[in-house]
Amino acid sequence: MENIKSLSSFDQEIFDLIEKETKRQEDEIELIASENYASPAVLEAMASSLNNKYSEGYPGKRYYGGNAIIDDVETLAIERLKKLFGAEHANVQALSGSPANAAVYMAFLEPGDKVLGLKLDHGGHLSHGHSVNFSGRLYNFVQYEVAENGVIDMEKVREVALKEKPKMIVAGFSAYSRDLDWKKFKEIADEVGAYTFADIAHIAGLIAGGCLSSPVPYFDVVSSTTHKTLRGPRGAFILCKEQFAKQIDRAIFPGMQGGPHDHITAAKAVAFKEALQPEFKIYCQQIIKNAKTMAEKFMELGYEIVSGGTDNHLMVIDLRNKNISGLEAEKALEKIGVSVSRSTIPNDPAPPMRPSGVRIGTPAITTRGFEEQEVLMATEFIDLALRNKDDEKVLSEIKEKIKELCSKFPIYKK
C-alpha cells in the first residue's frame, strides 16, 4: 500500500523522540519499582498485525467475525497464566491495573458496600479506597494501617474487620516492602464473612518465580498488572476461583470494557511463557538479593528504611533525617541519570506532592544484569548525589560514572 511507510521516513519527529528515550533508558539507572524492560519478543508481539482486529467477547463467543486465530491467541495466554499461578480461572483482557480492580469491585460489590483496604500513605494504592479515586467515591472504604515498625499487624487488621464488617477485604500494595500473610487475611475474611481480593500488581513476578507466597490458593479473586516484575506489556489480568468466573468475565466485558487489545494479549502470552522458564526463578531471586543489598547499604549510610528492610523488590526511604524531601531527592537523582519516585511514608506530615520519602525498586536493574556489586555502586552514587544535591559539578561527574556503568549492561544488546 502506498500510504504504508516506515516510522523514520514518515514521522521523523516521533522516531527521533523514541530513539532519544531508548538512549536515555540505556544510559540511566531505572529504580522506579513499577517499571521494567520488556524483552524484544514481547515488544515484537505488541507491534504486530493483531493490533488491527476487533474481538469483543471471549474465545468462541465473539461479536465480530474473523476471530478464530485471535481465539487461539487468547486461549494460549489464559492457559499459560493459569499454569503460572495454579489458578482455576483467568481473564487476560483487563487493559490496566486500576480498570482490573474496578472490574473486581463491580463483580462482587454494589455501590456503597463497605470494603477494607490498606491506607495509601501506609503503602496501599489509589484504587484501594482513596477518596480522590473511583474506588473511594463509589464504595465505602475503611482502611487498615501499618504499625509503628512499618509492618502490617494482622491482629489490628482483624480488629478493624470485626468492628467494620466489610463485604470485601483487599490485600496488596504499591509501596510496602514485606511479604503478606495471605492465609491470615483469609481467616479474618472468613470470620466476618467477607470476600478476599489480592492485588499483586507489584509482586506477581516474584510470586510466579516462587520467591514470595501466593494468595491464589486462599483468595477468591486476584488481580495484577503484567508490566512490573512480570516484565510483560502494559496490561493486567484477573484470576479467580471457578465459582466466580462468570461474574468476573461479565464485569470485564461488557461491564468495564469493549474489545480487548489483541496485540497486548499476545504479548502477555509471551511474557507468561518467559516467566514459566527456569531462568525466571533465578531472575526473581536476584531481584530480592539486590533489594536487600541496597536496603542494607542505605541503612549503613544512615538512611531510614520504612519497616527496617525489605522482603521483596522495593523499599521506601524516609528522608526526614537527611533534611531533604522526596521531591527534592527525585529531582536531584534525575540530574545524575537515576529515576526514582517520590513516596509518602506512614503518617507522613508532608503533603502528597512533596512527601517525606522516595520509593526505590530493583526489577529493572536486575533485568539488565546488575548484581550486588553494581547495586552497591549505585547506592553510593545516590548517597553522593543527595549529599551534593545543589552542586551541579558533582552531579555532572556522577552522571558520567553512571553512564559508564550502564554501558556495561546494555538493555537491548546489538
Which residues define the annotated binding site for (6S)-5,6,7,8-tetrahydrofolate?
120, 124-126, 242
Strand locations in 188-335, DSSP E? 195-199, 221-225, 236-240, 304-305, 314-318
The answer to whether 26 is a known catalytic residue is: no
Q: What DSSP string runs through 261-287? A: -HHHHHHHHHHHHHHTSHHHHHHHHHH
Catalytic residue among 28, 30, 121, 199: 199
The answer to whether 234 is a known catalytic residue is: yes
The answer to whether 155 is a known catalytic residue is: no
**Number of CB atoms found within 10 A of residue 316's CB:** 28
Catalytic residue among 62, 178, 186, 228: 228
Catalytic residue among 83, 114, 183, 234: 234
Terminal CA-CA length for the chain: 31
The dihedral through the CA atoms of 41, 46, 51, 54 has a sign that is positive
Cα 289 to Cα 211, 292, 377: the distances in Å are 11, 5, 15
Distance, CA of 218 to CA of 209 (rounded, Å): 18
Beta strand pairing call for 314-318 and 338-339: unpaired
Cα torsion for 344, 349, 351, 356, to the nearest 10°?
-40
Catalytic residue among 26, 27, 35, 56: 56
| Cell numbers standing for residue 210 | 516462587
Catalytic residue among 54, 113, 289, 403: 54
Catalytic residue among 164, 176, 225, 366: 225
Name the nearest CA neighbour of 51 among 264, 263, 265: 263
Cα 91 to Cα 50, 77, 335, 370: the distances in Å are 18, 9, 41, 34
The answer to whether 56 is a known catalytic residue is: yes
| Cell numbers standing for residue 32 | 522506579
The answer to whether 225 is a known catalytic residue is: yes
The answer to whether 228 is a known catalytic residue is: yes
Q: Which residues contact 390 (CB under 8 A, 6 or more apart)?
A: none
Distance, CA of 191 to CA of 71 (rounded, Å): 41
**Number of CB atoms found within 10 A of residue 25's CB:** 18
Is there a contact between 30 and 362 (Cβ–Cβ < 8 Å)? no
**Number of CB atoms found within 10 A of residue 110's CB:** 10
Name the nearest CA neighbour of 87 among 212, 196, 223: 223
Distance, CA of 80 to CA of 92 (rounded, Å): 11
Return binding residues: 120, 124-126, 242
**Number of CB atoms found within 10 A of residue 268's CB:** 32
By annotation, the residues acting in catalysis are 54, 56, 199, 225, 228, 234
